[in-house]
Structure 1
Amino acid sequence: MSTVDVNVQGDLTIGGIGTGDLVERYGTPLMVYDEGMIRGNAKLFRDAFNESGLKYQVAYASKAFLCKEMVRLAEQENLSLDVVSGGELYTALEAGFPAARIHFHGNNKSEDELLMALEAEIGCFVVDSFLELELLHDLAKEREQEVQILIRVTPGVEAHTHEYITTGQEDSKFGFSISNGQAATAIGLAIRKPYFSLLGLHSHIGSQIFEQEGFDQAIRVLSDFMQRIRIDLDVMMPVLNIGGGFGVRYTEEDQPLPIPTYVKGITDSVKTYFAKNEYPLPEVWVEPGRSMVAEAGTTLYKVGSKKIIPDVRTYVAIDGGMTDNIRPALYQAKYHAVLANRPNEECTELVSIAGKCCESGDMLIWDLMLPPTNYGDILAVFSTGAYGYSMASNYNRIPRPAVVFVDNGESRVVIERETYEDLVRKDR
């Protein structure tokens, strides 16, 4: 549950701290995470799976947002960790995360990344290509090291979401297709490799999904495929990874299901389809990222220039933009925002929120009702906790913002604000 509120002074608060106090202490742009909400979301996933009676793993999808403190939080909440690069893996290991609970994804893992993961003895590799099947096994054989793998498959299910974030359809850069026979071929190769222990299948149908139908269809396809593999190859697989993609609320238009509803739908489908095939119930893995952290994040900006174009538009510029949140420019993502220093004041002006980058496309929100804005006002943009900082850049040589965690009236920096000196540190 979110702790965003308004105090007696009329200022927006997060985690019991006034946003004005946060800005005064840490500056802007500032990414603020409601730590209690993240922990609450983790508990919702765990409790829902515990009610199902199925064995499970909830792996935080670190690509949504990662830093050492987020890794520590994931460990404290008994989550596993999904990484997709050597950098994410390194961060997890540096923070002391148990390697046995790390799953390594990615469609083009390098030899160096695979070696790093092997040396760390991570829990599982999600194999995504025929090249990786051979390369990973060659490396494992050289080390005489058995590795556990999942085979990533595309079930041919097209989720109802933006075309840039669908991943389960037939035409995808991820995984092996079930329908054209590549998935069965990959499994046939994997079971003949002595240093592989085949755990099961991985599937991910997309992101920002608001209904159960896509997951149900995918589980039906996967269950039937696992049954076919049992018959054809005499192979039983004990794990089914459904991926993530659970929707969150960015604006009032978004109507996501509660976390327990997503989990119950998945576990009910698993029980139904696997019982129908008389297949032992698998351990179910999921990988929530956005649904764990998105709504827990709020970005605070200071209002700068204001440009009124009569009968056209009013632009209100802030001191950040596409360098800390590229999602609106990348796939037309929508957000809601308020003036944090005057959240209860009547909204009488229709404005568009512009970033400071030298790009016409650097627009965070196109149409937003706000009170009349003044230079120095604080704008709070909600639900920025996922794919904001993790996709941030130094375009226009703009330093990345600071990130703070807040909880019960306390705040702490988890990522320091970059400086101009940081920008030139690697220059030669």
Structure 2
Amino acid sequence: MYLHGTSKINAKGHLEIGGVDTTDLAKEFGTPLYIVDEALVRQRASEYVEAFKASGLKFQVAYASKAFSVMAMCAIAEQEGLSLDVVSDGELYTALQAGFPVERIHFHGNNKTPDEINMALEAGIGCFVVDNFVELHLLNALAAEKGLTVKILLRITPGVEAHTHDYISTGQQDSKFGFDLANGAAKKAIQEAIALANLEVLGVHSHIGSQIFEVDGFRMAVDKVSQFAVEIRKDLGLTFQVINLGGGFGIRYVEGDTPLPIAQYVGAITDAIISNFTAAEFPLPEIWVEPGRSMVGDAGTTLYTIGTAKEIPGVRKYIAVDGGMTDNPRPALYQSEYEAILANRANEANEETVTVAGKACESGDKLIIDLELPKANIGDLLAVFCTGAYNYAMASNYNRIRRPAVVFVKDGQADLAVQRESLDNIVANDVIPARLRKAELAK
């Protein structure tokens, strides 16, 4: 079995994370439970920062909060010297409530509303990543109303397709994101942005996809972006100060996943930047990247309690847990794969092959297909690894199932970061119209 970060099997045969026995976590906080290995998150952040420092380039490592946005994570990002990406008023509000430095916040998104833009302008965030022509002119107009000049990057699609799932590939020409490089839209956007009085163009942003296990795609993106930078400087007189290469750095979910060391991803990007821009006699730009999954993905573990079982002779055995697609929709969305063990019986030999089903009323609510486990019993604890990214972030209340609590563990201490939703939370925003109330119907 492959254990990430501080995870280990202790003398009791229990899974331990951050020096805390997971059986104790289940007793104190209940299940399902998201567990975050804080030391591993901080290690990943440090690996990015140190790799960029070694390059000698100016840089910002911006945590992509869409992967996992809670105030405790914003606090860690600030402490580790990171910047922060947000893509909605909710993510921005979370960052502001956590006291994150506004000048290090970047606002992404392909359909920012006027209210969201105004909120970000009033907060004084550091940069907008502009995604389309409508937003370009809307942002300028709203900034003008407030007498502001705002810094922007223009998101371009470089035509580089990463080797990943169709739903998480974003750099190809047919994408909802950004200005296309090949058809001239990107150059036209730069030209229009330069002419708008309340915008300051820092440079461009490029993101080629997610869960990428090689560096060739990043090198190709740098090639295209650097050629574009030279063209823009020659034709329009604008020198890019910032090049943002996005994120997409892969992690190990299951055996067969082969992510590269963070320093290797960063080294490939920075070497390509230095080589291309030096050859073009172009000032070396500041480099920004946006790791999300690779910062928190393998630092997360979800703990479930096993309930019922169903065996179909000659076909399959199901075991059901007290969560499922409501706390982890990725298997249903992307056919994502995970590894898991019995947290309370971690040293026991595997005896059977099971499919882990969730409790939602959907046939597709299967977390893991064909998992090797010891014979599981009601009340056993199942620990599913690498659930730190896009699990809590994408969780729902389907079937009015309550979203789990989140705990951060480090050095033998467990701290609640998000409370478990209560039944009162589930109905907190419900309103029964007057005409539907019992008293009115009785008239």
Same fold? TM cut 0.5? yes
- Tell me the distance in 1 between the aligned counterparts of 2:340 and 2:181: 43
Residue equivalent to 1:106 = 109
Q: What amino acid does structure 1 have at the position aligned with 2:136? A: L
Residue equivalent to 1:239 = 242
- Residue 202 of structure 1 pairs with residue 187 of structure 2: no
Residue equivalent to 1:407 = 410
The alpha-carbon deviation at position 24 of structure 1 amounts to 0.4
Q: What amino acid does structure 2 have at the position aligned with 1:190? A: A
Match of 1:73 among 55, 73, 76: 76
For residues 308-333 of structure 1, the C-alpha deviation after alignment (integer angstroms, 9 at most, x for no partner) is 11100000100000000000000100
Q: Secondary structure at the match of 1:226?
A: helix
Match of 1:397 among 390, 400, 412: 400
What does 1:236-385 align with in structure 2 at a 5 Å threshold? 236-385=239-388
The alpha-carbon deviation at position 71 of structure 1 amounts to 0.7
Q: Secondary structure at the match of 1:390?
A: coil
- Tell me the distance in 1 between the aligned counterparts of 2:146 and 2:399: 45
Q: What amino acid does structure 2 have at the position aligned with 1:282? A: P
- Residue 170 of structure 1 pairs with residue 173 of structure 2: yes
Residue equivalent to 2:435 = none
Q: Secondary structure at the match of 2:197?
A: coil
For residues 24-57 of structure 1, the C-alpha deviation after alignment (integer angstroms, 9 at most, x for no partner) is 0000000000000000000000000000000000
Q: Secondary structure at the match of 2:311?
A: strand
- Tell me the distance in 1 between the aligned counterparts of 2:244 and 2:155: 9
Match of 1:32 among 31, 35, 45: 35
What does 1:99-248 align with in structure 2 at a 5 Å threshold? 99-248=102-251
Q: What amino acid does structure 2 have at the position aligned with 1:229? A: I
- Tell me the distance in 1 between the aligned counterparts of 2:334 and 2:15: 29
Residue equivalent to 1:8 = 11
Q: Which runs of 4+ in 1 moved over 6 A?
A: none
- Tell me the distance in 1 between the aligned counterparts of 2:425 and 2:353: 38
Q: What amino acid does structure 1 have at the position aligned with 2:190? A: I
- Tell me the distance in 2 between the aligned counterparts of 1:181 and 1:277: 21
Q: Secondary structure at the match of 1:227?
A: helix
Q: What amino acid does structure 2 have at the position aligned with 1:58? A: V
- Tell me the distance in 1 between the aligned counterparts of 2:72 and 2:290: 19
- Tell me the distance in 2 between the aligned counterparts of 1:399 and 1:196: 43
187-196 or 382-391, larger mean C-alpha shift: 187-196
Match of 2:90 among 84, 87, 90: 87
- Tell me the distance in 1 between the aligned counterparts of 2:256 and 2:370: 14
For residues 193-214 of structure 1, the C-alpha deviation after alignment (integer angstroms, 9 at most, x for no partner) is 1111110000000000000000
Q: Secondary structure at the match of 1:126?
A: strand
The alpha-carbon deviation at position 367 of structure 1 amounts to 1.0
Match of 1:418 among 416, 421, 430: 421
Q: Secondary structure at the match of 2:320?
A: strand
Q: Secondary structure at the match of 1:389?
A: coil
The alpha-carbon deviation at position 374 of structure 1 amounts to 0.4
Give TM-score scaled by structure 2 length: 0.96
For residues 261-294 of structure 1, the C-alpha deviation after alignment (integer angstroms, 9 at most, x for no partner) is 1111110111111112111111000000000000
- Tell me the distance in 2 between the aligned counterparts of 1:345 and 1:32: 23
Q: What amino acid does structure 1 have at the position aligned with 2:293? A: R
Identity of aligned residues (%): 60
Structure 1, unpaired ranges of 5+ = none
Structure 2, unpaired ranges of 5+ = 432-443
- Tell me the distance in 2 between the aligned counterparts of 1:276 and 1:179: 23
The alpha-carbon deviation at position 14 of structure 1 amounts to 0.3
- Tell me the distance in 2 between the aligned counterparts of 1:363 and 1:277: 52
Q: Secondary structure at the match of 1:317?
A: strand
Q: Secondary structure at the match of 1:200?
A: strand
- Residue 19 of structure 1 pairs with residue 22 of structure 2: yes
The alpha-carbon deviation at position 342 of structure 1 amounts to 0.8
Q: What amino acid does structure 2 have at the position aligned with 1:192? A: A
Give TM-score scaled by structure 1 length: 0.99
RMSD: 0.6
- Tell me the distance in 2 between the aligned counterparts of 1:55 and 1:31: 35
The alpha-carbon deviation at position 408 of structure 1 amounts to 0.3
- Tell me the distance in 1 between the aligned counterparts of 2:222 and 2:72: 34
- Tell me the distance in 1 between the aligned counterparts of 2:271 and 2:281: 15
